[in-house]
Amino acid sequence: MNKRVYGVLGIVSRMSNWNADFTGYPKTTSNGDVFGSDKAFKYPIKKMWEQQGKKVLYIKSMKFNEPKKGETELIPRSLKERYEYIFDVEDLKKDKDTRNVITNLFTAVDVKNFGATFAEEGNNISITGAVQIGQGFNKYDETHAEEQQILSPFRDASKKEGKNNEDKEEAKSSTLGTKIVSDEAHYFYPFAINPTVYDEFKSLDLTEGYTEEDYMSFKKASLVAATSFSTNAKLGCENEFALFIETEIDLYLPDLSQYITFEKREGKNIITINCDELLNELQERIYNIEIYYNPYTTTVETAIKGAKKYNIFTLKEV
């Protein structure tokens, strides 16, 4: 692929939790700004690729382990075990050919896009990904976290009845859980695709490089992965915006999410793209600009020349 791609990917979260910290609350910076990590965005993309039957290395998978005879436990695979599982390798220790390991890694769709740090059994390999995704900051100022109490249908069998009535009642009662969600948040992630990062691997005949097919695979998944990933915490999280700018290979653009603003309205919300002056001045070096959004809930305002707008669900031009 002889071009670079820059853009922004937008996620809406309504009464759900797009990316929680270890306390269960939506992630925030030290000054209270709500954000989502790049890992939160990559995970549903990798799950979608896995469901499509593609090889995905960096994703949790389980196996049965027998620590003692007659005992079985379910545990996550190690990186070595995951590699052996998806590439049908009997034992990574026996594979002394690093060339073979790197070639295998590049056939995993997540490695081809996002890169890899692979330090296993004598192989110390680092691959910088062609696709780099930044942190996605929430652009809606009125976001609030909501804590919900959930009643379990079961009692806690570890609690024993005490001598007083309160302890006896607690031991007999169902347990309580907590679910924490954002009432509404709108995350905007910057991304950049640089296919030249694989040039050295291409020169060694370890990969064909980052191709148009690789780009389309990422693009298609990034437009729908959050919407498709309907777990209990993520139901209510949807793809609501995407900006793709394809440029000459030697054109360098800044983080474009800083030029995006979001405004809540009674009718339709407004997403404004404020980098029109920058992009219009570089028009001769830009091949294509596409904007995807939810036209049922949102209006996109921009003065970017030649930008095409699409319905993010139907992919039809608006």
Q: What percent of the chain has pLDDT over 70?
A: 92
pLDDT at 160 over 80: no
pLDDT at 251 over 90: yes
Query: Measured between alpha carbons, how far is residue 271 from residues 53, 137, 244, 261, 263 in Å?
Result: 35, 14, 15, 6, 7
pLDDT at 185 over 80: yes
Identify the helix (H) or strand (E) that includes residue 147. strand 145-155
pLDDT at residue 163, rounded to an integer = 59
Question: What confidence category does residue 178 fall into, taking pLDDT thresholds of 50, 70 and 90?
Answer: confident
Report the predicted TM-score, pTM, of the whole model to 2 decimal places. Answer: 0.90
Question: What confidence category does residue 139 fall into, taking pLDDT thresholds of 50, 70 and 90?
Answer: very high
Burial-class residue 107 by CB neighbours within 10 Å (0-12, 13-18, 19+). Answer: middle
pLDDT in tens, 12-48: 999 999 999 999 999 999 999 999 999 999 999 999 9
pLDDT in tens, 63-78: 999 888 888 999 999 9
Q: What percent of the chain has pLDDT over 90?
A: 79
pLDDT in tens, 193-240: 999 999 999 999 999 999 999 999 999 999 999 998 866 557 889 999
